[in-house]
Structure 1
Amino acid sequence: MNYEEPLFFTVMQYAEAAERDVVDMVSGNPDWGAPDGVGEGLHDYAETGGEAFQYPPSDGLRELRERIATRRGVDTERVVVTNGGAMANTLGMARALERRSGDEVLLTDPVYPYYPGKAEMLDGTTRFVPVDEEGALDPADVRAAASDETACIVVNTPNNPTGRVYREETLRELAAVAEAHDALLVSDEVYDHFDFTGEFTSALAIDSEHVVVTNSFSKTYAITGFRVGYAILPKRDAPAARTRNMLTNVATSRPAQAAVLHALKTTDADYHEANRERLRERVDSFTAALDEAGAEYSTPEGAFYVLAKFPDYPGTMANVKRLVDEAGVAGMPGEAFGDARSEWLRFALVTPRVDAAAERLAEFF
């Protein structure tokens, strides 16, 4: 796999330059708006001034870390607030690689492409474990792939792009594989509020010194531009991660942290349930159109992506561009996510124009 070219931006730029109307289903930017607490928190912060406008603690505002820790049932000292979930994943993977002589990172196929990109950036080597046709990951396959060179196992649940929610037993077995090889399991749970099964389990449920959990408020509160995420690391690894965060990032935006903190205090469960219901309806309408188009497709258990395979239309960049030009729909090529779904296309259902996109695809195919 080659990750030197940022394919997400390539497709978005191509769609923006199109001479026709295009429904953007490329990136996971939620369209439903943030809860009121985010804006209220920003307004309140704007009135503080002075010292409150200076550097925050490098590992995050203490009150925000405490609230995250309480919600997640962990010690506050294990929490590092980061510049989005991307930085949280970088911290977890970097810590795994620097604490071991091995340099191997085990990843799923298909995979969110930034994971292997980060592994390569950190001088790691990548090895891929295919999932099954439904997106399920068999821990036995991970165990067979792991070796003394394995420093890190990275998983994402609910999963991008497959929509699969990994069950507790799967995560427990993956943690056992990490323990057997003195590696770290990095579980990216950024879509945890978009579980449609009711069976999502955080890897934090596993009592292990070999588990790192990463998350972000970008999707949870529809604030991808705020860049507030966090990593929860084992106690032995948190100090090193805090140091790396300081050296590479200095600190995360103070006003953004203040807004998130206020939202955590004021946002109730109804906000999240309304978003899940919105997505359930979009999945139903979009997959109905895929049925009409004669496509195979994934029905997500979580997150907000659908993979689709159209007859005689492989998921190449050339075909993505043709879809933009001729159908007015922009998705992602399956080849961007690895070999296992290279024949497929991925669509993000975070647009109010899902029905329009569905109609265009049904007509095109």
Structure 2
Amino acid sequence: MEYDEPLFFKVMQYAANADRDVVDMVSGNPDWEPPEALREGLHDYADADSDQFQYPPSEGLRDLREEIAERRNVDVEQVIVTNGAGEANYLAMARALERDAGDEVILTDPVYPYYPGKTTMLGGEMRFVSTELDGSLDPAKVRDVASDDTGCIVVNTPNNPTGAVYDRETMEELVAIAEEYDALLVADEVYDHFDFSGRFESALTIDSEHRIVTTAYSKSMAITGYRVGYAVFPESLVKAAKTRHMLVNVATSRPAQQAVLDALQNTDAEYYEETRAMLRARIDAFTDALDEAGAEYSRPDGAFYVMARFEDFPGTLDNVYTLIDEAGVAGMPGEAFGESREEWFRFALVTPRADEAAARLADYF
């Protein structure tokens, strides 16, 4: 089976090789500092006894899983610590498709490209549901395409790339559809700390054997390289997911898990509040510049991405390269996220130069 190289890598490589200064707004790599307690925990770990450098429990350090379980109000045995949200989503989608309950995966359009990639890798068939222009999802559209062949429904809230936040009513309806068709709802909540609307509702607040929640500390703690995430499975699905996790990865990095645990236990809410305030300011400045450029755009209610459309300048890969060469700004082509946003670009506001990038775009257009 052939797999396409993700466009992210092509764009980042092109920008890195450009003959001019380029503001990188391609990938969601946070540019702010992680919690201080995380650094301290990692330093302390370096002096631990050598037995602490050996394999951890495959499903994750017990103390970390207990901390997660208490915070999420679930049983500790439902929690599997994974190599980021990427592996958590893989385990969840694999579990959904190996149940012989259907091989179709319902995805939104626009969609984070790794979900279709995983669907292909797992042998599933994709069905797409278009979101509204503001990124909101009408569950009735999901119900229209759901069938007895539906094995999995994947949603991301707060959403990448639209910045939409799904409210409780939406999540309840999605769980109900999954239950009706014996499918699994996989709710990727990796941006849960970046809700600017107050409407975010975790699927974990809805009791069901038909939903799996995935997330990671990559974004909330600005540690995409640590690769510490987790999935919360219904009890009936945990055993098989743990086995697959062990066979694929053996375990997740022990020092990284311990550092995350230290950060969870010793970081107050102010850290996250300051990050949200900083991102709100970036969103304001960036969208103001898009107004100057005459662009149409979606203002995110969550996460840290802005999608924009410029007149007579569709969001193709070639035009992304043009913006790199002529404006000095690197974003992602809308075509990477599905058919419904082919005219758009996505910009990640995870650079202290977001204001500069916005001014460059305003000047260019």
- Shorter chain as denominator, the TM-score bin is over 0.9
- Are 1:290 and 2:290 an aligned pair? yes
What are the residue-to-residue correspondences of 1:259-298 with 2, within 5 Å?
259-298=259-298
Q: Does the CA contact (< 8 Å) of 1:197 and 1:301 recur in 2?
A: yes
| Length, aligned pairs only | 364
Distance 1:10 1:105 in 2: 27
Once the 2 structures are TM-superposed, how far is the Cα of residue 5 of structure 1 from its aligned partner? 2.5
What are the residue-to-residue correspondences of 1:1-365 with 2, within 5 Å?
4-365=4-365
Q: Does the CA contact (< 8 Å) of 2:194 and 2:276 recur in 1?
A: yes
Distance 1:40 1:33 in 2: 13
Give the match's secondary structure for 1:340. Answer: helix
Once the 2 structures are TM-superposed, how far is the Cα of residue 30 of structure 1 from its aligned partner? 0.5
Q: Does the CA contact (< 8 Å) of 1:3 and 1:113 recur in 2?
A: no
* Long gaps (5+) in structure 2: none
* Long gaps (5+) in structure 1: none
- After TM superposition, where is structure 1 displaced by more than 4 Å over at least 4 residues in a row? none
Deviations 1:70-92 (A, max 9, x none): 00000000000000000000000
Give the letter for the 2:106 counterpart.
Answer: L
Q: Does the CA contact (< 8 Å) of 2:101 and 2:183 recur in 1?
A: no
Q: Does the CA contact (< 8 Å) of 1:81 and 1:229 recur in 2?
A: yes
Distance 2:117 2:33 in 1: 30
Give the letter for the 1:133 counterpart.
Answer: L
Q: Does the CA contact (< 8 Å) of 2:101 and 2:182 recur in 1?
A: no
Give the match's secondary structure for 1:236. Answer: helix
Distance 1:245 1:33 in 2: 30
Distance 2:49 2:91 in 1: 31
Once the 2 structures are TM-superposed, how far is the Cα of residue 43 of structure 1 from its aligned partner? 1.1
Give the letter for the 1:210 counterpart.
Answer: H
Once the 2 structures are TM-superposed, how far is the Cα of residue 280 of structure 1 from its aligned partner? 0.3
Give the letter for the 1:95 counterpart.
Answer: R
Give the match's secondary structure for 1:200. Answer: coil
Give the letter for the 1:247 counterpart.
Answer: L
Q: Does the CA contact (< 8 Å) of 2:79 and 2:231 recur in 1?
A: yes
Deviations 1:150-198 (A, max 9, x none): 0000000000000000001100000000000111000000000000011
Once the 2 structures are TM-superposed, how far is the Cα of residue 99 of structure 1 from its aligned partner? 1.0
Q: Does the CA contact (< 8 Å) of 2:92 and 2:212 recur in 1?
A: yes
Identical columns (%): 68
Deviations 1:16-68 (A, max 9, x none): 00010000000000101101011111011111122111000000000000000
Give the letter for the 1:51 counterpart.
Answer: D
Give the match's secondary structure for 1:80. Answer: strand
Distance 2:137 2:282 in 1: 26
State the superposition RMSD in angstroms: 0.8
Q: Does the CA contact (< 8 Å) of 1:105 and 1:150 recur in 2?
A: yes
Deviations 1:314-361 (A, max 9, x none): 000000000000000000000000001010000000000011101100
Q: Does the CA contact (< 8 Å) of 2:112 and 2:337 recur in 1?
A: yes
Give the match's secondary structure for 2:187. Answer: strand
Distance 1:250 1:351 in 2: 34
Give the letter for the 1:8 counterpart.
Answer: F
Give the letter for the 2:330 counterpart.
Answer: A
Distance 2:268 2:188 in 1: 23
Once the 2 structures are TM-superposed, how far is the Cα of residue 3 of structure 1 from its aligned partner? 6.3
Distance 1:91 1:22 in 2: 36
Distance 1:207 1:224 in 2: 30
Instruction: State the TM-score, normalized to the length of structure 2.
Output: 0.99
Give the letter for the 2:16 counterpart.
Answer: E
Distance 2:248 2:157 in 1: 27
Q: Does the CA contact (< 8 Å) of 2:101 and 2:150 recur in 1?
A: no
Distance 2:197 2:102 in 1: 36
Q: Does the CA contact (< 8 Å) of 1:100 and 1:183 recur in 2?
A: no
Give the match's secondary structure for 1:272. Answer: helix
Give the letter for the 1:39 counterpart.
Answer: R
